[in-house]
Amino acid sequence: MKCGKSLGVVLLVAALVAAGLAPARLILAQDGGPGVIVYASDRTGNYEIYSLDPETGQREQLTDDPGADLEPVWSPDGETIAFVSDRDGDFEVYVMRADGSELRQLTRNFAEDRMPRWQPNGEYIIFSSDLNGQWDLFSISADGALVRQLTNDEYDERGPVAEAVTEVVPTAAPGVPAATATPSQPVLPDASVNAARLNLRQNPGEGATIITQLPRDMALDIIGRMADSTWVQVVTPEGRMGWVYAPLLRVNISLASVPVVNVQFIPPPPTAIPTITPIPATPIPATGVNLVAGIVVLEPAGPVCAQTFNVGFDVANLGTAPTTIGGTVSLVDSRAADGSIQGTTLGSFPVLAPGQTYRVNMPLTISTWYEEVHRITLTIDPQDQIPETVPGDNGRVIEYVLAKGPCP
């Protein structure tokens, strides 16, 4: 710790004493004894996260990745560490257990996400991001499910990097009533999907290209709007950006505060007058199954050559009828440079009720073409064993860089 930070802590304690409030504890890790410091060091030639017990001098390396791991901060309960890493190409927010296990990537976008800081209740992490071209404050739930933009104006706004001392709990001096903490309120997303499925489009308008379909209740950040607020520009939890039809959202903010974006509106194509030709009518079922590809999560987020990692893939039934049988998911890993296949596997999912989502977990080990981009192609029901009302939305493709690890 630098001298300036140590002096700042001393001055803070002195100020509390002068005000009649003596610090009860300085929480680094809530173990009831001396706290454990977490910090970043380049002692191995690359920035990694370490823990240090100042009483015993015992040091433990918690991360080991070719990317730079920086800005670690304890959760209020001392059980989880949030930090940032550029292991996927740009800085994202990650969390892990105090011993470095159970690493999870929380943010996934093409921006720089920095300076994480826990809210006192431990349910949300505040961080800074240049997602919109300038630095703004965002919050994300500890499980990564809900993301919300907290500031959105012309100013450069960044949260402070949390100090090693994450909390000072004062006790009242004799005769002075103790302060009462105000419980933190849950942070609501800007909006959430209020339809069985919602098209995310490249531009506003029903004629714009569909990027993907968003499932019901997905949390969204609103970053722009048309002048009449009928179409809004959103960012999904995975970092995808696009336009959606606002009346199909539950909106938790005032759209008047969202900046207007000047972008081309694409109306639906004109409907051609068909030539009436008598043909036998094909009955359209009133209900049916609609399997839709959801998010993909890699654990750990940065796969390593010759080391098994897990591919989690969400399969959702957004139709109005249950599947009659379980199904399969195919996974193909290929080298992005030439499309050559490097590995394949299959996963399975059970019978899905309408509106149900199931995460298919598929372990995968790749031992070729490290330090190159790999492409994972996932397909639901590749043999078309389950009849669907809306085929064509059963696939997902993601890319990652395979780290060298132990491979020669």
How far apart CA 176 and CA 283 sit, in angstroms, is: 78
The residue length of the chain stands at: 408
Residues 113 and 45 in one domain: yes
Based on the fold, state whether residues 43 and 91 are members of the same structural domain: yes
In a domain, 275, yes or no: no
Do 248 and 361 lie in a common domain?
A: no
* Residue 101 lies in domain: 3-172
- Shared-domain flag, residues 168 and 231: no
Per-residue pLDDT of the chain (408 residues; tens, 9 = 90+): 333 333 333 333 333 334 333 333 333 333 323 378 888 888 888 889 998 888 888 899 999 999 899 999 999 988 999 999 999 888 999 999 999 999 999 988 878 899 999 988 888 999 998 887 788 888 898 888 788 888 877 777 776 544 333 333 333 444 444 444 444 444 578 899 988 889 999 999 888 899 999 998 899 989 889 988 889 999 888 778 899 999 899 998 888 888 888 888 887 766 555 555 565 554 444 458 999 998 899 999 889 999 999 999 999 998 899 999 999 999 999 998 899 999 999 999 999 999 999 999 999 999 999 989 899 999 999 888 999 988 788 999 998 999 998 988
Residues 164 and 238 in one domain: no
Amino acid identity, position 63: T
Domain end point (choices 172, 205, 220): 172
Any domain includes 269: no
pLDDT value of residue 161:
43
143 shares a domain with 22: yes
Residue 282 within a domain? no
Query: How far is residue 101's CA from residue 317's CA, in Å, rounded to a whole number?
Result: 33
The answer as to whether 100 is a domain residue is yes
Asked whether residue 167 is assigned to any structural domain, the reply reads yes
What pLDDT does 20 receive? 39
Q: Which one of 172, 206, 233 terminates a domain?
A: 172
pLDDT for position 169: 36
- Which residue in 120, 124, 80, 125 sits closest to 103, CA to CA? 80
Please classify residue 266 by burial: count the beta carbons closer than 10 Å to its beta carbon, then call 0-12 exposed, 13-18 middle and 19+ buried.
Answer: middle
- Residue 64: the pLDDT is 93
Same domain for 133 and 7: yes
Number of domains comprising the chain? 3
Q: What is the CATH number of the domain that holds 197?
A: 2.30.30.40
- CATH number for position 372: 2.60.40.10
Domain presence at residue 277: no
CA atoms of 59 and 80, how far apart (whole Å): 17
Query: Is 382 found in the same domain as 354?
Result: yes
Residues 149 and 18 both lie in one domain: yes
Distance of CA 298 to the CA centre of its chain: 12
Among residues 207, 239, 257, which one ends one of the domains?
Answer: 257
User: According to the model, what pLDDT value does residue 363 have?
Assistant: 96
Q: What is the pLDDT of residue 36?
A: 85
228 in any annotated domain: yes
Q: Is residue 373 part of a domain?
A: yes
Whether residue 42 is found in the same domain as residue 138 = yes
Q: Please give, one letter per residue, the 3-state secondary structure of 114-158.
A: EEEEECCCCCEEEEEECCCCCCEEEEEECCCCCEEECCCCCCCCC
Query: Do both 319 and 230 map to the same domain?
Result: no
The H or E element spanning position 37 is strand 37-41
19 and 161 both lie in a single domain: yes
Pairing outcome for strands 241-245 and 327-335: unpaired
> What CATH number does residue 130 fall under?
2.120.10.30
User: How confident is the model at residue 214, as a pLDDT?
Assistant: 92
